[in-house]
Structures are given as C-alpha cells and as structure tokens.
Chain A
Amino acid sequence: MLNIKNLHVKLEEEDKAILKGVDLTVEAGKVHAIMGPNGSGKSTLSYVLSGRDGYEVTDGSAELEGEDLLDMEPEERAAAGLFLAFQYPVEIPGVGNMTFLRTAVNAQRKARGEEELSAGDFLKVIRAKAKDLKIDADMLKRPVNVGFSGGEKKRNEILQMAMLEPRMCVLDETDSGLDVDAMKLVSEGVNALRDAGRGFLVITHYQRLLDHIKPDVVHIMADGRIVKTGGPELALEVEKNGYGDLLESA
C-alpha cells in the first residue's frame, strides 16, 4: 500500500537533513507503528507524506498504491486515499465543522469522479459516525476545533477520518494530550476503521497508545532512519528500557 524508499528530506530554509534514508512498507490491512525519541524525524515523515510546505525531498521516493505521492498537491494526496490525523488539529473560526467536512468529502469524491453526497445523505452518515465517537450535534455545528478540548479535537480528527474513508491513515501523536478515557474512545474509533483494505501508520512517542491500537509491526526511528523493526514486543521493550539501550544496540 505505502512504499517509502530511501527517503531523504531536508528543511527548505536551512541546510539541515531531517530524514536520512527512510525505508518503509505498509501493507493493506496492517497497522505499523513508528516509535522514536523526540527529534528523530517521525512528525516530519508524516508531513512530507501529506505534502506540507517547507520540506525538500533530496532523494528517494514515496508511493501510495503505485502512485508517486511526492509529485502531488496535498489535496490530490487526500483524494488518492491518504489521511493525516494531526498532532495539533487547527482551529478555524467562522467555518462550521459540518460545512468543512461536507466540503472535504465532496471535493474528494469530485476529484475521484464520484457523485457528490447530497446534504441529506451526508447528514445521515455523519450523525451515525459522530454518535460512535460521542460527538454531539453541537460539536458538529461549532466552528472547526474552536473551543474544543484536547480530546474533542482528536475525536474530531478520527471523525474526519471515518467520513473520508482513506486507504492509508497516518496518525501523528494522536495520543498526545489525551487522558485514559479519551484515548480509549479515540482508539475504538481507529480500530473500527481497521479492515483488510486499509493501512495504518501510527506515530507515537509512548507505548500506551499501542495497548489500545494493537500494531502488527513496530519500527524504531532515530536520527532520520528506521533503526529497528520488530513485532509488538518491540514497543514493550521501549516501555521497559527506554530508547537508550535500543539505540546503542542498533
């Protein structure tokens, strides 16, 4: 599904390499986790995949189902099936959550040559999905993320994911700022979306999120590279011994 080969990235404004040859393949139906210390390049990877400005790819490639992601605009990547759940979802005053989501859903459908959802159909779908995430009607009406608590913002990210039905989901530190209950709710939302046709890349600093979203594969990232890959037990090792030992042995 997602194929990243020898990806080298530097900051556009500075001569500073962040990713120094990332190789990673996420298969359909699988959940891959990337763990790593702060500054290892985890979030940069998520931004580069989704097309944020400010980064320059100096070498390597990233493909989604054979399509070159790096050659696309952010909205084209979204229409191709990529979704990034933000670590810090952005507040947009004056734009209703529902209006935003309907615009996004229909823009993607249009880009893919599908028929746009009518207001009525959209409403039916979003109500059902919002209910599962305990998002009430008021939150749907309010401006995007404005006045939302940390947990509400993350739930809203998962709602967007559920509505957009991407094939490849990248979750950037989705656990940050969540208490245990909120983490459970968010994880349930993510788990409900797991299926054979969808891949996940879960970026996290801590192991605790992986108690709720069980990964198939765990990667350790350090200094812009994947330095170790293993099963779920790798996450437990990090939890027990920290990154220090792992990085030394890598």
Chain B
Amino acid sequence: MMAADPKTQATEARIAALTLPEGNGWLAKARQDALGRLQATGLPSRRDEYWRYTKPAKLVQPEPALSVPAAGEDPFAGVDAHVITIEDGVITLPGAIEGLEIATLANAATADIHWARDLYGALEAAGSGPVARPMAMLNTAFATDGLLIHVTGAVDRPVHLRTTGASDPILHHVVKVERGATLTLLESGNIGARSNIATEVELADGAGFHHLRVQGPEPALHVNTHIFARLGAEATFRSFTLAAHGELTRNEAVIELTGDDATATIGGAAFGAGNFHHDDTVFITHDAVNCESRQVFKKVLRDGATGVFQGKILVKEGAQKTDGYQISQSLLLDEDAQFLAKPELEIYADDVACSHGSTTGAIDETALFYLRSRGVPKRRAVDMLVLSFLAEAVEEIADEDLREHVTELLADWLARG
C-alpha cells in the first residue's frame, strides 16, 4: 500500500481526533456528505493558494496549540438584547421572542425542522464551489452544536449570542430570515484556545440581517469563522467585525446575491501587536441585476503583527448594473508590521461598476504633531489617530447606537493597550 501524502495524513489525523455526532435522518446525511467532501479535498496546508498568507497548521492540527482558557468581560454589556449563551458547549435559550423561533442543532436530529434541513451544509457546500473551504466542511461534519434561528417577523431587540468557555468548540449556526423580516445578531465570545464557527444565513426576498461581531481582546485565541450568506431580491445583509489581539484569526465570508436589488455590506476593524495575525477572506458573487456590495476592512498593526485581506468580487454573466466596492487599508505603526492584500475582480457582465483599492500607510506625522502640540501625550495621540483611521470602517455599522457602542469599546481597548 502506498503511503498517504502529508495532506491526507493531516486530514485523517484531525478526523481521528473527532467523533461524528450520532443520529440519523437529514442531519446525519448532511454530515456524511460534508465528511466526504472534506476527505476528497483535504484540510488546508500552506501550499494551498488560498492559505498562502496564513499558516493553517494551528487551526488544522488535531489538538489546539493553546490551552489557555479565556475569560473576559462582555463587550456588549449595556446593550439591550435577547441573550443566548453557549457556555462550555451548553446552550441556554431565552424565553419566547416574538418573530423568532430558536432551536439547537443537538435537538434538530429528533425534531422535524424542515427549513433547517434544506439549509444545513447547503450554503457551505455551495460556497465551496469556486474555492474549497475545507475548514467549513470539517465544521459541517463535526459541529457539536449550534443554533437554528428562524426569523419570521420584526424582532424588537437584537439577539446577542455569547459563546464562552470550553476550548476547541466546533459550532454551526443556521439563520433563515423570511420575507420582510429582520434580525440584528450580536456575537461575542471568549473562547479559550481555539474555535471553529460556521454560520449559514439565508435571506428571503426583502429580508434583513445585521450582524455585529466582536472578537477579542484576549491574546490567546485561535479563531476560524465562516459566514455563508445567500440573498434574495431586495434583501439586505450587513456584517461587521471588531477584532483585537487574538493570536490567529481567519474570518471567511462567502456571500451570494441571487435576487435583484439586494445589498451586502461586510466590514471589519482590527488591531493588534506582536504575534497578532488577522486574516479577512471574502468572496462575493453577484448573480442578479442591480445589486450592490461593499467590503470595507481596516487593520492597525504594530510590532511584527500581520494583517491579511483576500477579497474577491465575482460578477456573473447577466448580473448587470452591479455596483461592487472594495477597500482594504492598513496602518502600520512600525516597520516590523506587515499587511498582505489580494484584491480580485472577475467580471462577466458589461454594464457594471466595480472598484477596489488597497493601501498601506504609516501614522500621519503632521496630525501627530498637531495633537501633541495641544498637550495630548504621544501615546494618547497615536490612539486617537488609530481611532480616526478605524472610524471609516466602523461607519459601516448602520445602527447609530451600536456604532457608538463599538467606537467607545474601541477607544476603551486602545486606552488599555
């Protein structure tokens, strides 16, 4: 027998450390399907083009490289929301909320949640079309739990999903927003060591989904997330992530605009120092007429930190009147930090407006002098300019209160260093 290649070996080693959750029916079938795709594809290695700037080893290896349990305060403290907690893998749901049905993946096998049956793993599989996403396949196959959120009306307050505790969870959430319904989902967590979280979001015509996520500020985090979204006509999708200080973060977003006049906005503000490595990888597909997409990512890097942005806009044939915008910018606070950007456009329609830009810059010395000349100490002045730089990305948060909340959180984190 021929020895397996290193990629297959790594994949099998990872799989061997996991247990396929028991059960049968549609969920078991979806898991088996994902496992098959994973084994055919193999887990990522540094040689994969899509992982060129981010070493996947720590995300892929059977056991997490870190063993520090994270603790920390709630970044959304003071925000009025329905709270769902996942603490050491135990999900606690709030009482009944109008316009919302929430179930857990663990119970899904026995319940007939027909809407989830059609979605679980389906958007992930579709999103692995142009570029394989084996870490998401792994997630679909082995997720221990997750939320199934069905939005049928207007929800009065945001839903806040707070995940804490146990090391190395694999969680898979599915959200379906029905026609005309909207949900604001806040996501935060202090998960020690390592986490792999996938979220599939299906938006019916005219549906709205606003996602605001905070990652950090604990340093000992290895985070891998995927968001797969599919938008119907006139649907609105917004996602924004504030990240600080995690050691290794790879956030992937795969968004498909399948109905006319839909809008997708995805953005992020990240800052970190030292061994901070932060990767935003985005793939947006325009497959309908008159849709708009925006990608706005900003990173502040210091003392050897690395920022990565891989963003693609694919405009399919017939997706006329597409308006695609993409900007990625970094502020390097010293010469040791680096920012690696790979913006891509692939366009098969002739009546579209797409733009992308990427910049890397240092702190504006004139602005720094201006602030210091008013008596602001240098350290504080740099913080103010960092805040100034990130503010343009934070502007992408549509809700004014949440935007202010994030700005204050950011200022607070910066002040603490």
Contacts and interface: CB of A to CB of B under 8 A. Distances in A.
A104 B140 CA distance: 52
A86 B381 CA distance: 17
B387 A94 contact: yes
Contact of B371 (A53, A73, A93, A100): A100
B369 interface: yes
Nearest to B391: A94
A93 B388 contact: yes
B375 A108 contact: yes
A80 to B, nearest CB: 10
B25 interface: no
Interface residues of B, number: 25
A92 B367 contact: yes
Given A103-B384, A104-B376, A107-B375, A89 B392 contact: no
Interface in A101-115: 101, 103-105, 107-108, 111
A78 interface: yes
A50 B367 contact: no
B392 A94 contact: yes
A160 B375 CA distance: 11
B372 A92 contact: no
A52 to B, nearest CB: 5
Contact of A94 (B369, B370, B390): B390
B375 A164 contact: yes
A79 interface: yes
A100 B384 contact: yes
A103 B372 CA distance: 11
Contact of B370 (A79, A89, A108, A111): A89
Contacts of B378: 73, 75
Contacts of B372: 51, 73-75, 78
Interface centre among B375, B387, B388, B391 (most CB of A within 10 A): B375
B366 interface: yes
B390 A75 contact: no
A160 B374 contact: yes
B385 interface: yes
Contact of A75 (B366, B376, B384): B376
A92 B384 contact: yes
Contacts of A101: 374
Contact of A53 (B365, B377, B381, B390): B365
Given A74-B369, A90-B370, A104 B375 contact: yes
Given A75-B372, A90-B366, A100-B371, 5 more contacts: A50-B373, A92-B367, A92-B388, A94-B388, A103-B376
19 contacts: A50-B373, A51-B372, A53-B369, A75-B372, A78-B372, A83-B373, A92-B367, A93-B391, A94-B387, A94-B388, A94-B389, A95-B388, A100-B376, A103-B384, A107-B376, A111-B375, A111-B377, A143-B388, A164-B375
